[in-house]
Amino acid sequence: MLVLGIESSCDESGVALYDTDKGLLAHSLYSQIELHAEYGGVVPELASRDHIKKITPLIKELLASQNLQLSDLDGIAYTAGPGLIGALLVGASIGRSLALGLNIPAVGVHHMEGHLLAPMLEDPQPTPPFIALLVSGGHTMLVEVKSLGNYQILGESLDDAAGEAFDKTAKLLDLGYPGGPVLAALAEKGESGVYTFPRPMTDRPGLDFSFSGLKTFTLTTWQKSAQTDQDKANIARAFQDAVVDTLFIKCKRALQQSNCNTLVIAGGVGANKQLRNKLAALDAKVSFPRLEFCTDNGAMIAYAGAMRLLAGAAEAPVIKPCPRWPIDELSAVEEVG
Ligand code: KG4
Ligand code: ZN
């Protein structure tokens, strides 16, 4: 079964072709980072308009790169939520209309399920049950993946998501947009231990997170410092050390608590080098998607959708994105080919 995946939940237009026999055939991405940079964050209306311009040409190029045509497709998967409503509407409208015109099934994919399953695009594939750490710009959660579609949230952020904390802290330090990668690069130049930040909510039981206090801590530390370039780098390092340590402590706890020995990392913050190194040292099988599949992409949507279509997912031909959509409300996938 050949499935076209379309991702348009935020500021990245992603498309991919996943063949359930041959695996991932091709994928491509257009990032809107430059478009939003001058505003210091994503402007939803600009994002929607840009998805409209970019997605159809991306699909045409993708098919041409594989000498394939629309008529070769057996199914379409598009991100139905959570995300920006206008941006989601674009992918959903294109996906649904194509499916209707081609008389093939389409499925609306949960963006976070896409992230969660992105490590399945790698070889060897992790096999459920496993614990997944989802760390993106909008979500931070620990999920027990019992089987495909059967997800139990063990803990989540009570305020800012990890990526959001990176982005907001980067803004406070005047590092520009997108904050995560820039702050991470600066942290590499910083010295560990010059400043010590709290590891929020690690001194009490449970698997929830709270990252919003760290940005205030960053601001006051910066204001009290001599404000040299090295101070900034040291503060960036202290912030990153705190986030990484906190995520490490909670992952270790989640594995122990659920008696599981496989951890999967997903979402944009999963691209963070220090986090990858630290988690790789856990006494467990730790699986990361390649860097380009940590951040938003079409491949994860094509894969998640293909698994559901293969299991016979049938949805009414209705364009109905869900900007808010709890991941534990998804239906379990019974058969996987
Ligand atoms: O998963 P993603 O691409 O989009 C969402 O679904 O949110 O994640 C984007 C988030 C942003 O907050 C970005 O700053 C963060 O991931 N991010 C990073 C790194 N690369 C991306 N955070 C820390 N270190 C990185 N290297
Ligand atoms: Zn994402």
CA of 122 to the centre of ligand 2 (A): 18
Residue 122: pLDDT over 50 = yes
Nearest to 77 by CA among 322, 334, 298: 298
Burial of 226 (0-12, 13-18, 19+ CB in 10 A): exposed
Where does ligand 1 bind, in terms of residues with CB under 6 Å?
10, 115, 136-138, 163-164, 166-167, 178-181, 184, 267-269, 271-272, 295-296
Tens digit of pLDDT for each residue in 36-84? 999 988 999 999 999 999 999 999 999 999 999 999 999 999 999 999 9
The rounded Å distance from CA 223 to ligand 1 centre is 26
More confident residue, 7 or 331: 7
Asked whether the predicted pLDDT for residue 6 surpasses 90, the reply is yes
Phi, psi dihedrals of residue 83, rounded to the nearest 5°: 165, -165
> What pLDDT was estimated at residue 337?
44
Q: Residue 146 burial (CB < 10 Å; 0-12/13-18/19+)?
A: middle
- Which atom of ligand 1 is closest in space to residue 185's alpha carbon? 26
Q: What is the pLDDT of residue 334?
A: 77
Query: Residue 237: which H helix or E strand, with range?
Result: helix 229-258
Distant-in-sequence, close-in-space partners of 229: CB < 8 Å, separation ≥ 6: none
Q: What is the mean pLDDT of residues 124-132?
A: 94
Residues in CB range of 21: below 8 A, 6 or more apart: 1
Ligand number nearest to the C-alpha of 180? 1
Ordered by where they begin, the domains of the chain are 2-117+296-329 (3.30.420.40), 126-288 (3.30.420.40)
pLDDT at 335: 57
Among protein residues, the one whose CA lies closest to atom 21 of ligand 1 = 268
3 state DSSP class of 16: strand
* Smallest CA separation from ligand 1 atom 16, residue: 268
